[in-house]
Structure 1
Amino acid sequence: MFRHAMMALTATVVTVAAAPALSQTAEEKGRAIAVEADKRDTGWVDSRASLRMILGTQSGEQRAVRELDSMAQERTKETDGDKSLIVFRAPKDVQNTALLTYNHVTGNDDQWIYLPALKRVKRIASANRSGPFMGSEFAYEDFTAAEIEKFTYKWLKDEPCGQLTCHVIERVPTYENSGYARQVAWFDTQELRVQRIDYYDRRDKLLKTLTATAWKKYANKFWRSHDMMMVNHQTGKTTRLVWGPVTMNTGLNASLFTPSALARE
């Protein structure tokens, strides 16, 4: 999600994706748009940013603010998916809690969480990844990358989305134990950034909506949203992620992204 979260071809390819599908099925067009969006976000090597996680109540009040660091390492020839690490810095009751994710191109991802109170690293079973992450409206599953082969796709329509026009794409998880029956994502037609995602629960009821705004461009190529709001329609609660500046290709050491390193963060 957060690479991508969202995580952004040639002019000819973009035109083919954006034009009415004369020779493509809705499924082929939906997949083509997702593939092209993924290609645009290739080559950043690694990234680092600080962020705030703001938890909101059903009545709109702020119930907690957390400070975090986020690090990520792009897939290499030796790895089949990106790796990401999230570390809580404040407040004290969650300080040094860390989540490590190994994304895989196909199949289930690997995730570990370090719990300072227990002084142990715990592997998260795939059956538990649909659960809420640290009391937020984000699930563990939401912190994994939307790898192309993990979904089937269907283009639904093009429509206005704010001041932009968006491709509306339905994607259905193909991996085991997803908490979602399906997701509907809005990709803006200009830059193929994911502006919004609707998440439907296993009963196919609308569960949550993620809205991504405050986009900034890095290295003249890579777009990152600096304000992400997740609204849980079934509880009324919210979680907002407000990101600071992103640094890329800084030479993050691969040893940071290992389960054994979590307790040292």
Structure 2
Amino acid sequence: MKKYVYIALFTSLTFSAVCSHADETPEEKGMAIARETDRRDSGFGDSAYESIFTLRNEQGEESIREFSIKTLEVKDDGDKELGLFHKPADVQGTAVLTFSHGLQPDDQWLYLPVLKRVKRISSVNKSGPFVGSEFAFEDIASWEINKYTYRYLRDEVLDGQDCFVVENTPAYEYSGYSKQIEWVDKAMYQPRKIDYYDRKGDLLKTLSFSDYHQYLNQYWRASKLEMVNHQTGKSTVMARNQYQFRNGFKDSDFAENALKNVQ
């Protein structure tokens, strides 16, 4: 008799779970996807990697920039990130420091070795190009869950990978985008592609992520990111390598007054 009770109970619970999932609004499902993405990527502590920017103009001419990035995870706030350029000579020693936040404006500073001064980047100027690339200053800040509102659009297979397609609308002030359409890999809960729409609602750029690797048996990172500007014909490829996690970075390593001494 108990066997049938258990079957009936299991069937009832399963039916309730299915109904509950089916009853989700597109906004609730979009937020659930974002929360799972955030959960899976939390707890890494800190990381560092080397990167090469390949900038291509509309004629296909290329220029190369080499830099390194250090990131410090911050509990109950956005991450801190410090980038330092090594090559070519005209940008060598240039450093950018970013304190990401949620709805509050990100704090960003730029150190220009030619001027030997630290310049604070205005919160209204985050849509400007980052050192001449197709990445904007707001693109290089860490993703924080409450920076956007979310709306699930559909499921879709992209390059053989099952993805959620979600519309992300910036909830913070002074974004250069009206919305983003993101393809989130269902297995990794990491982005495969993001379409960026300008303030007029026109498609501006597409960012593609590829060559993912897993670190610490949990954290997925793409080794190649390509940003294509559909309105100018320019593009930037970011190749990331030599990832290292849990380096023991401290808050003092990301202080504003340390920018001039970064090596």
Provide TM-score, normalisation by structure 1.
0.90
Cα distance in 1 for partners of 2:79, 2:17 equals 26
Aligned-residue identity in percent: 46
Residue of 151, 173, 195 corresponding to 2:148: 151
Deviation at 1:21, TM superposition (A): 4.4
Cα distance in 2 for partners of 1:264, 1:20 equals 55
C-alpha spacing 1:18/1:48, structure 2 compared with 1 (3 Å): farther
User: Aligned with 1:192: secondary structure?
Assistant: coil
Corresponding residue for residue 243 of structure 2 = 246
Cα distance in 2 for partners of 1:104, 1:17 equals 34
Deviation at 1:258, TM superposition (A): 1.1
How many residues of Structure 1 are paired with residues of Structure 2 in the alignment?
A: 247
Moved more, 19-28 or 113-122: 19-28
1:193-251 C-alpha deviation (Å, 9 max, x unpaired):
10110000000100000000010000000000000000000000000100112100010
User: Residues 1-265 of structure 1: matches in 2 within 5 Å?
Assistant: 21-62=21-62, 64-76=63-75, 80-265=77-262
Cα distance in 1 for partners of 2:20, 2:78 equals 32
Structure with the bigger RCO (C-alpha within 8 Å, sep 6+) is: 1
Higher alpha-carbon Rg? 2
List gaps (5 residues or longer) in structure 2. Answer: 1-15
User: Aligned with 1:132: secondary structure?
Assistant: coil
- Tell me which amino acid in the other structure corresponds to 1:210: L
- The structure in which a higher percent of residues are helix is 2
Cα distance in 2 for partners of 1:97, 1:18 equals 53
C-alpha spacing 1:130/1:23, structure 2 compared with 1 (3 Å): same
List gaps (5 residues or longer) in structure 1. Answer: 1-15
1:66-111 C-alpha deviation (Å, 9 max, x unpaired):
11010000013xx622100110011110001011000113321100
Does the Cα contact within 8 Å between 1:17 and 1:29 map onto a contact in 2?
A: no
Cα distance in 1 for partners of 2:178, 2:38 equals 22
Corresponding residue for residue 8 of structure 1 = none
1:143-181 C-alpha deviation (Å, 9 max, x unpaired):
112211111100000011101111000010011100000
Give the ranges of 4+ consecutive aligned residues of structure 1 lying more than 2 Å apart after TM superposition: 16-21
- Tell me which amino acid in the other structure corresponds to 1:27: E
